[in-house]
Chain A
């Protein structure tokens, strides 16, 4: 009778890395659907491009690093998908491919691979593309609702995002359009309702911890409400919640386990600081990239937050 000897516990939870990543992909299905619905087949191709490139890059690097070919864990697929969802629908294929390679190679493996990266790979890749192709990354098209659009048609229907409209021409987009997603913006950032459905799924299934999204959103609500009361020409709470990458950032980027604090207290601090930074950039900043920069900045502060919020051990 050959018996297996191992250290306790002999009972493990069914949740593994692959399960976590798959659930994130499942949570993003409504967002993917919304992006294809509003921006056509081109959105689907962009998503496919980013995901395939990310997985291929992961495979090549794991091979070069002589590591187990663990692409089935799904982490590269998630990174690729998240990157696609924060790009404008008109992003050229080569830029998207470069971004995906950057996300996996520089964003993840330079730091040591899965779980060792400091910055959210999708966000850092977007920041890179922002520097490389500033015009492409800030040109958004209006939602179109038919499947296939010829490339030359894209430029004719370009439109500023609600945040830009608000900032530079004091134009307020109706809240219902924001909520449903009938606005211009990055692929996955437009439909608030779809992001909320997917995000709630992750929180209910306990795939993502609720502390960061909750504290981030509550902070944004409080600051924008105060801002609105002080000066009614400011946008209201719902506008701030539903516009830009706020919900996608709060629910899918700021909950990335590797780049956010390991302590519960630290997660509240992370969320509150992120929310506050977003509002500061939105009120006083020059670019509408508040969510991306705030999360990246807080990613950099995560080790510090961890150090100062370490639990004291039971009873000590």
Chain B
């Protein structure tokens, strides 16, 4: 793992704001890992807020709900910050927003019913991977350790941090629900040490024992990148290593991001599906960074048009996600997805970087949290020797970017690895 500049000040101290009135909503059918949802509305339909507009399609898939009441004006291909382009439902909000009333008799809900509610709410992992949450909760194997991920190791991003400071009780109620479903022996709340205000509150809530969490404890982890990566987090908190090709549940572990826990709370306590999320907008090109609650599907362009966020200088790069793993965008015409933690607006870097010769200094090897050999992948991918790549376990790479970050020759190693993965035989 590596140490990167955090760049989390001042946004980590900024109270979250709300922005709930977009003029248009762009809702890609694929906002999660697995099969895209299947659209169940037609152009011209009038939709109520939180009504299902696309159904779960297959086992690993998710529902999609209308973030606001309004009219479907188009269903066609639209920009997607993760996939580039994908089929999307475009909605024009009209009318008033819905009130969510508390659900009755939560104590009596069975495990199956809880999973059903979570699935029907379209909840996916909000840490970035967007894996449908109900699939993780239906573990065929017993889970002994539930790990709550509050690490947020990507520089700049502060949504999980703000959520923990502002909505910690709700997060704990969400964790309680998960515990009722999977009945773990231990709950570990993992936070990086740079979030001292959140840590204090978490310790306080754990010690008051107001929540029925079995053997809950806080794990304060050093602020390394990628501390919040699922495999790294499991290792840091339990010393268990998830081998390539295996899942955390094979080792009796389950990891859920704090934002996912909050979404579970809203779904179970208020029957509110996943239709909005907290997003960080930061970077040197903005007049001021912000943490804003936005409806899923809100376009970046609209936030600028309505002057919710403003440019100080023209950005050189716009990134969806964090600077280490995010994707660079070609325009502002991109919507916010269920998995979007933030947008970065970066100004010009200090100098143009050209790819130099590999020094074989092995800084990439030293930095790799997966104990892989990035320089060997680069060498082979460049020569087109893809056969060898699988024997070197290239598919275990989590594309965290530690190698390329550390490379003194500024070789875009992640780019070569992604290309290598595409052609490497997937026999293992």
Given contacts A4-B328, A257-B361, A314-B369, whether A12 and B418 have CB atoms under 8 Å apart is no
Taking a contact as CB atoms closer than 8 A, the residue among B327, B359, B406 that contacts A258 in the complex is: B359
B408-A17 in contact (CB<8A): yes
Q: Which of A45-53, A151-159, A272-280, A305-313 contacts B (4 or more CB under 8 A)?
A: A305-313
B373-A13 in contact (CB<8A): no
A10-B319 in contact (CB<8A): yes
Interface residues of A in 263-316 (CB under 8 A from B): 263-264, 310-316
Q: How far is the CA of A9 from the CA of B365 in the complex (A)?
A: 16
B326 contact set on A, CB distance < 8 A: 8, 10
B41 within 8 A of A: no
A310-B373 in contact (CB<8A): yes
Interface string of A1-33 (1 = CB under 8 A from B): 101111111111101110110000000000000
Q: How far is the CA of A11 from the CA of B375 in the complex (A)?
A: 19
Interface string of B172-204 (1 = CB under 8 A from A): 000000000000000000000000000000000
Closest to B316 in A: A4
B410-A316 in contact (CB<8A): no
Query: Nearest Cβ distance between residue A79 and chain B, in whole angstroms?
Result: 13
Given contacts A3-B331, A264-B366, whether A13 and B406 have CB atoms under 8 Å apart is yes
Taking a contact as CB atoms closer than 8 A, the residue among A7, A70, A114, A261 that contacts B412 in the complex is: A7
Closest to A15 in B: B408
A116 within 8 A of B: yes
A316-B244 in contact (CB<8A): yes
B155 within 8 A of A: yes
Residue with the greatest number of chain B CB neighbours at <10 A, chosen from A1, A4, A7, A115: A7
Closest to A20 in B: B408
B418-A7 in contact (CB<8A): yes
Q: How far is the CA of A310 from the CA of B368 in the complex (A)?
A: 13
A8-B414 in contact (CB<8A): yes
Q: How far is the CA of A310 from the CA of B374 in the complex (A)?
A: 12
Q: How far is the CA of A231 from the CA of B406 in the complex (A)?
A: 48
B206 within 8 A of A: no
B135 within 8 A of A: no
B412 contact set on A, CB distance < 8 A: 6-7
Given contacts A8-B326, A9-B414, A257-B359, whether A315 and B231 have CB atoms under 8 Å apart is yes
Closest to B245 in A: A316
Interface residues of B in 364-416 (CB under 8 A from A): 365-366, 369-373, 375, 392-393, 396, 399, 401, 404-410, 412, 414-415
A315-B246 in contact (CB<8A): yes
A12 contact set on B, CB distance < 8 A: 353, 404-405, 407, 410
B354 contact set on A, CB distance < 8 A: 68
Closest to B400 in A: A9
Taking a contact as CB atoms closer than 8 A, the residue among A6, A17, A310 that contacts B359 in the complex is: A17
A41 within 8 A of B: no
Taking a contact as CB atoms closer than 8 A, the residue among A3, A20, A116, A315 that contacts B329 in the complex is: A3
Q: How far is the CA of A113 from the CA of B358 in the complex (A)?
A: 10
Q: How far is the CA of A83 from the CA of B195 in the complex (A)?
A: 50
B318 within 8 A of A: yes
Q: How far is the CA of A314 from the CA of B241 in the complex (A)?
A: 7
Interface residues of A in 236-258 (CB under 8 A from B): 257-258
18 contacts between A and B (CB under 8 A): A1-B315, A3-B315, A3-B330, A4-B328, A6-B317, A6-B328, A8-B325, A8-B327, A9-B405, A10-B328, A17-B409, A20-B408, A114-B357, A257-B362, A311-B371, A313-B371, A313-B393, A316-B244
B residues sitting closer than 8 Å to A (CB atoms) are 4-5, 155, 231, 235, 241-244, 246, 314-319, 323-332, 344, 346, 353-354, 356-363, 365-366, 369-373, 375, 392-393, 396, 399, 401, 404-410, 412, 414-415, 418
Known: A6-B328, A11-B155, A315-B241. 4 other contacts (CB 8 A): A1-B332, A8-B323, A113-B357, A311-B372
The 7 lowest CB-CB distance pairs between A and B, nearest first, are A9-B401, A257-B361, A315-B241, A7-B415, A315-B243, A262-B362, A11-B323
